[in-house]
Chains A and B, each alone.
Chain A
Amino acid sequence: MDFMVFQYPMITVQACLDGILLGILFALIAYGMALQWGVMNIINIAQGDLVILGGYIAYFMYLYGIHPAWGVIVSPIIMYFVGVGIYKLVINKVVDRDLFISILATFGISILFMQLMNFAFGADVVLANSGYGTTFLFDNNVVLPNSKIFSAFVSIIFAICLVIYMKKSKLGRAIRATAQNARAAKILGVDTEKVYAATFGINAALCGVAGALISITFTIHPYMGLPYTIRSFMIVIVAGLGNLPGVALSGMGLGVFEEFADYILGTEFRIGSVFLLLVLILVYRRFKLSRKREYLK
């Protein structure tokens, strides 16, 4: 236990800023999850592993001497096709089935990806060094790596682009129509199979962007996927499907919570506290709803 947080206000500022910048990244991943959950009614446990895979693409570019920031462009393009591939191979067989089937199937994909990445890239914790330097604020009391600011900035740009795309483009309209009522959309001539594939691809591409940013800002490791899945799941259930400002806000909230948990409880309890928070949020919502004799749907 460390109560430095309360004695030195600058640490609070540091934690809040770190948390918000981190939370924007989480929100980007959660946006992808909300998208495919809303459209296809699938919970993708492999979400975090897609993020890590995207990170490894950026890391590989870094290894070959290309600046990892370009990964933000390259990684989503590759990941889009990975996502469509996963959809064609596995997801299209579980779309209409029970949600638990999709959870278990994507759990299998997650284990598969984890191990394949472990073979391909080794079990070391890696980081793509962007060389962006750091910014010092408040008399050098608050240290912000520029890469974090860069990543938050890029995430916001991608999120805005996607929102505009979903609103204006033909595919975006088809996706939204399918989310509202797949059957009606089919009757009106939307090729839902294609829409599903595109949705999963876009989700994977978003994961790719987030992964590339994470490889620049933090570290990546083949087995680090599951916490990202849980975080995005948590953000989505707090914000609700299709509530974008909610996703952004709860993402930042989660980021700040994590930074404080890190300071107060210690780094070894960081991931544990995220998972525990998930349980607490679900239980809280369950009790809130059970007063009206309802349950989480």
Chain B
Amino acid sequence: MSNKNLFLYIGILIFGLTAPFIFPAFKVQLSILCVLIVLATTWNIQGGEMGYNSFGNILFYGLGMYLCASVQVGMFFPLAEWTESGGEKTFVHTPAQFFQGMAAGLVVAAIVPTIVAGLIGYSILGLRGHYFAICTLGLGVAAGEISGGIEIIGAGQGFTTPPFPDFGGLEARGEFFYFLSFFVLVFTFIAVRTIYSTRFKLILNAIRDNEDKAEAMGIQTMKYKIIGWMISAFFCGLAGGIMGGLVGYIDSTDVAFDGREMGVFMVLMAILGGKGTLWGPIIGATIFHIFKEGFWTFFLGWQYVALGVLIVVIVIYFPEGIMGWLREKYPERFGEVVDEADRKAQVELK
């Protein structure tokens, strides 16, 4: 079993490392795919495993995006003048400055959202079910509206992130961002996989299944809920920081705190693949991204109509997702012991 998995991982790793050279035209798309997988996988930590369906992870994503870009600019140049000039090239990063700024920016983009999640976690995670969902939805939209009014990060006119330094052209830029996002993806996968093999995951599942009973068993549910959310926030911030550099332009409501797109996408991808599984969000994100890009390219203008229909169809007909469907079909593969007589009896009951 583990031997087979090892080959699978190595295969994926090799594919990931060579992908930009096999499909050189799709480098940006592949980087976005990596970011989407990171978002879906980490949404799944508290959405799928913990049962706290959040629309608000977009808050950490947007925060990470703004922070990374602000640090990258602010380390070397006055931030206010940069945003005021609106992307005019009055200041130019040297390659060393760009990469230093990016590294520092990503560190800040990962840490600050984690702290924010820890700070607001105690208040927000006391809400349950749909109240939590709506509250986080409000949080995400509020963050977008408020950041759209703050002058120093560009307010309504947006924030141009530092352009990639002038060497190697588009090729080098694409490869840099691809390997950055792929590295983050691998890091996320290893981290999440490690988390899922510990007792921590069982505690999260206990919270999902019955929080009151989990508490009665002596688990400090609030502590674990906050930690779960902080882990999500860490990776969301990191993903946001990369995405900001990749897109090259940050707008408060259309790119950063885009609750209507990215905020729903992460939920949708996780549900499509199957909530509460390790591979579900990854498969879901891949299928979703392929579908989305196809639609965005060939039916431009109708993409939101398709998105709306897609959400309704997925939610109504596939609430368990692809992994859930597979699990029902081949329970043996998932390590579930199935008693033949029991199964027959169930069929008869139906």
* Residue positions of A touching B, CB distance < 8 A: 43, 90, 93-94, 97, 99-101, 103-105, 107-116, 118-119, 226, 230, 233, 237, 266, 268-269, 271-273, 275-276, 278-279, 282-283, 286-287, 290, 295-297
Contact = CB atoms under 8 A, between A and B. Distances in A.
19 contacts: A100-B130, A103-B133, A108-B309, A108-B311, A111-B307, A112-B309, A115-B308, A118-B304, A230-B138, A233-B134, A268-B155, A268-B156, A272-B141, A272-B145, A275-B145, A279-B138, A282-B131, A282-B134, A290-B126
B319 A112 contact: no
Interface in B101-135: 123-124, 126-131, 133-135
Of A93, A108, A110, A271, most B-chain CB atoms within 10 Å: A108
A97 B319 contact: yes
A111 B135 contact: no
B312 interface: yes
Given A275-B139, A279-B135, A111 B315 contact: no
Given A103-B133, A296-B131, A279 B312 contact: no
A276 B304 contact: no
Interface of B: 53, 123-124, 126-131, 133-135, 137-139, 141-142, 144-146, 148-149, 155-156, 260, 264, 267-268, 271, 301-302, 304-305, 307-312, 315-316, 319
Nearest to A116: B305
Contacts of A104: 267-268, 271, 311, 315
A94 B315 contact: yes
Contact of B312 (A109, A237, A271, A273): A109
Of A107, A273, A290, most B-chain CB atoms within 10 Å: A107
Q: Majority SS of interface residues in chain A? A: helix
Nearest to B142: A275
A167 B137 CA distance: 35
B60 to A, nearest CB: 15
B131 A276 contact: no
Nearest to B131: A296
A279 B148 contact: no
A219 B346 CA distance: 58
B135 A278 contact: yes
B311 A90 contact: no
Contacts of A233: 134
Contacts of B312: 90, 105, 108-109, 112
Given A101-B319, A295-B128, A111 B53 contact: no
Contacts of A116: 305
B262 to A, nearest CB: 13
B127 A271 contact: no
A43 B53 CA distance: 15
Contacts of A103: 53, 130, 133-134
Contacts of B302: 115
Contacts of B316: 90, 93-94, 101, 105
A111 B260 contact: yes
A109 B308 contact: yes
Contact of A100 (B133, B155, B264, B310): B133
A53 B148 CA distance: 27
Given A226-B141, A296-B131, A272 B264 contact: no
Nearest to B264: A107
A282 B133 CA distance: 11
Given A90-B316, A104-B271, 4 more contacts: A114-B308, A268-B145, A269-B149, A279-B138
Contacts of B156: 268
Contacts of A286: 123, 126-127, 131
Contacts of A273: 142
Contacts of A279: 124, 135, 138-139, 142
8 closest A-B pairs by CB: A112-B308, A108-B311, A272-B145, A275-B142, A115-B304, A111-B308, A108-B312, A268-B149
Contact of B315 (A108, A114, A271, A278): A108
B311 to A, nearest CB: 3
Contacts of A100: 53, 129-130, 133
A114 B304 contact: yes
Contacts of B133: 100, 103
